[in-house]
Structure 1
Amino acid sequence: MSKSSASSKRATPFEVLLDYEQRSLAHEAGRPEMVEAPGHWRGVGFRLGQRRLVSSFDEVVEILPLPPVTPVPGAQSWMLGVANVRGSLLPVVDLKMFLEGERTVVHEGQRVLVVRQAGGNVAVIIDELFGQRTFNDTHRAESPGDVPGRYGHFVGQAYTLADQTWGVFNMSLLTRTPEFRQATA
């Protein structure tokens, strides 16, 4: 084979990338995080004060570092203000202040959960992010009927895993609560 015929069979970088793209688009394996397994439940784990909580992936749009917040005059003390996130203004709420009346200590690396809400998303500050948590029916704990304070309204079930109890925090119920929707003082 001559040198010129060997080089004519060699693919150009563009052709290699085009081949990768075509093979990738033809492959439709299910993503592990999207595969539903009977008896399994997944959510985003976080901490507020001393409580370990988890919220459904359906309720949390994304997780972000705390963006710069502009205070809003006349707002409730738990309403920190608004933040510009990729061109959209999001209200930023101190969730622990809303639930417990105690201000979250803001630190470098602070995270917010962006939560779905009718009329636009809202960012809620959490104390600590634990990431994805997966539970199955064997982890289901007794109904946490004795959840003190305002948490009891939003935590309807719990899971126990590795000696840790995780209350399932209903963000959808939170965003529909009249007091939460009325952030003016």
Structure 2
Amino acid sequence: MIRTPFDILAEYERRSLAHAVVLPIAETAPDQWRGVGYRVGKRRLVSAFDEVVEIVPMPPITPVPGAQPWMLGIGNLRGNLFPVIDLKQFLEGERTVLHEGQRVLVMRQAGGDVALTIDELYGQRSFGTAQEVEAGSLAEGRYSHFVGRAFKAEDEAWGVFALSLLARTPEFRQAAH
């Protein structure tokens, strides 16, 4: 009987699957909230995973004449053009100090993705319902429109920043002067 290379590979796969160890399915506890942690100014914030498309290094930026000061310009990521916004300047009126290794959060909004500068990236964060606290000072000023809840972990308060609300804010959508 002559076996083709495909037949040999199919047999290897069958044998391999017969001995595969079934791993338990990782489930998030129903009382867990998970998101991406980052810092803007002095505030530690988290945004839900479904609101962050990706986190990438700061792309090269082409300035846009006549744009708001918080719009740094247009960036290019893998051939896709998108606005790059200084989130700290939009919210606090103070420019983010850009540095080597700067990261941006890419969020989806109607009409395309938008990159937001952050001061520091902390990565994945998980909180239980028992860790929920009042948003307090995390929701002061312009943050009050976007931070409606908060969690406390290891003596640090984390405001839940709703990127979806930011994307629907008329001022944010009008980057032209």
The question of a shared fold, defined as TM-score above 0.5 by the shorter chain, is answered with yes
What is the correspondence of 1:22-33 to structure 2 with a 5 Å cutoff? 23=17, 32=26
Q: Is the 8 A contact 1:90 1:122 kept in 2?
A: yes
The amino acid across from 1:45 in the alignment is: G
Distance 2:77 2:48 in 1: 22
**Higher Cα Rg, which structure:** 1
Q: Which amino acid aligns with 1:86?
A: R
Q: Superposed, which structure 2 residues align to 1:54-69 within 5 Å?
A: 54-69=46-61
The runs of 5 or more residues in structure 1 that have no matched partner are: 1-10
Q: Identity of paired residues, percent?
A: 60
Q: Provide Cα deviations, 1:127-171, integer angstroms capped at 9, x if missing partner.
A: 000000000101100243773210111100000000000000000
Among 22, 27, 40, the residue aligned to 2:32: 40
Determine which of 19, 42, 45 is the counterpart of 2:13.
19
In the superposition, relative to structure 1, how do residues 146 and 158 fare at CA in structure 2: closer, same or farther (>3 Å)?
Answer: closer
Give the strand-richer structure, 1 or 2: 2
CA RMSD of aligned residues (A): 2.8
CA distance in 2, matches of 1:179, 1:29: 48
| 1:58 counterpart SS class | helix
The match for 2:136 is 144
Instruction: Judge conservation of contact 2:135–2:147 (CA < 8 Å) in 1.
Output: no
Distance 1:146 1:61, change over 3 A: closer
Which one-letter code corresponds to 1:127 in the other structure? Answer: D
- Equivalence map 1:88-99=2 (5 Å): 88-99=80-91
Distance 1:27 1:183 in 2: 53
- Residue 170 (structure 1) aligns with: 162
Is the partner of 2:62 in helix, strand or coil? Answer: coil
User: Which residue does 2:69 correspond to in 1?
Assistant: 77
| Count of paired positions | 171
Q: TM-score under structure 2 normalisation? A: 0.87
Q: TM-score, normalised by structure 1?
A: 0.83
